[in-house]
Structure 1
Amino acid sequence: MLHKNNEIIISPYDSIDLSTVDILVMTVSKKDVNQGNIADQLKLLNQVEKFKKKFANNVVLFFEGYEEDKRGLYQIPKIRKWIKKLFKQKPHLFYYLCDFTASIAICYLCLIKAEPVRMIGETTVCQFENDLGRLHEVLSSAITYAEKCGDSNEEISAMINRILDALFRNSVCIDEPKYFNIE
């Protein structure tokens, strides 16, 4: 499924003309998740990579078939496994994921240990591990890819801020702060 000029286009990934698309919504079927099939999304991301900067911050992941599931997508083991598999093949994925949906946060929570702790209205509060190694991997992969795309230092800095903001904009420290040295 793609968005083109506020229109939704449903098309096989093979026949998509990405030059006419501004925001790419990559639909992932429940069947693909259950089978661990990332082939269609890899094919589409390979096409996206030909456009480099055009799709930076303009790719949305949409998991079809989970609308009635009460769990957060990051809590569903098969989605977690699917995201890990995609990230292993495309470690620069976060370069493309948009910050105006939950795609960045969902993908990151699938890569680390995260558990829901309570609900506040419609919002799930989750506790997640402070995995600096994984955060470094996400950011360094996106930075390396941005450099290959020819992004300026300002663009790279904005990308880092966009990813971090999407991950932590609604985060609240509810337990003891963790300390680490920066040299």
Structure 2
Amino acid sequence: MNRTEFIEQIISSCTKTRNENEIDKSEKTKITISVKREELKLGQIQRHLNIIERAEKKKSKARSSITLTFEGYNNRSLIQHSEIREYLRRLFKIKPHMFYYLSKESNIQAILLSLLEVDTGTYGKLFADRLKGQAEFTFYGADLNSHIRKHVIPAVRYANKMKESPNAQKDLIVFLLDSIDYERLNEEL
């Protein structure tokens, strides 16, 4: 499915007609959530949820403002670590609209791929990083479009709930598709 069709499907399923008020990007808040190894091992997530809830109170000023990092891990190979995959699944179960808040610095593609239900098996450590800006892994048999839709739709619905205009919601989808290198991922399938 090409990008335009994908965007139109999500917009039509999530967006109600609103006035054209755009986000004032100059007022954006910048927040960094750095997840420590100990927090991952102990399954601690509450501190991070509190930070996200503070961002939610800032309304549209917090869109794309949270940088999520994992201390001591290569940010491009998050899928290799089961503790990170479990943490992200738990986070997105509690905050399914989390992609609304994530900044590009969070490596949205690695986060999205870490949310895939895949068995990396004994070869999980053999995934190799590729050039920056390219898809990092190939998933045979994975329905990547439905996986992307599953995680983009809650973010767009949240933007709609925040009374963002259809153009702002479309910009959010474009931002997310650019962040995950959508065409490259589809090409590899």
Specify if TM > 0.5: yes
Deviation at 1:136, TM superposition (A): 1.6
- 1:126 paired with 2:137, answer yes
Partners of 2:162 and 2:102 in 1: CA distance: 15
- 1:109 paired with 2:113, answer yes
Change (3 A) 1:48 1:168: same
List runs of 5+ in structure 2 lacking aligned partners: 1-26
Q: Percent of counterpart pairs with the same letter?
A: 26
Which residue in the other structure is 2:160 paired with? 147
Deviation at 1:58, TM superposition (A): 1.3
What amino acid does structure 2 have at the position aligned with 1:127?
T
User: Which of 76, 79, 88 lines up with 2:81 in the alignment?
Assistant: 76
- 1:92 paired with 2:97, answer yes
- 1:29 paired with 2:42, answer no
Q: Secondary structure at the match of 1:47?
A: helix
Kept after mapping to 1: 8 A contact 2:135/2:181: no
What amino acid does structure 1 have at the position aligned with 2:73?
Y
What amino acid does structure 1 have at the position aligned with 2:137?
C
Q: CA RMSD in A?
A: 2.7
Deviation at 1:161, TM superposition (A): 0.5
Q: TM-score, normalised by structure 1?
A: 0.73
Kept after mapping to 2: 8 A contact 1:105/1:166: yes
Partners of 2:131 and 2:175 in 1: CA distance: 26
- 1:168 paired with 2:181, answer yes
Change (3 A) 1:132 1:124: closer
Higher fraction of strand: 1
Which residue in the other structure is 1:10 paired with? none
Change (3 A) 1:132 1:169: closer
Deviation at 1:50, TM superposition (A): 0.4
Kept after mapping to 1: 8 A contact 2:77/2:129: no
Higher fraction of helix: 2
Partners of 2:64 and 2:86 in 1: CA distance: 23
User: Which of 57, 69, 77 lines up with 1:62 in the alignment?
Assistant: 69
Moved over 6 A (4+): 121-124
Deviation at 1:54, TM superposition (A): 0.9
Deviation at 1:167, TM superposition (A): 0.8
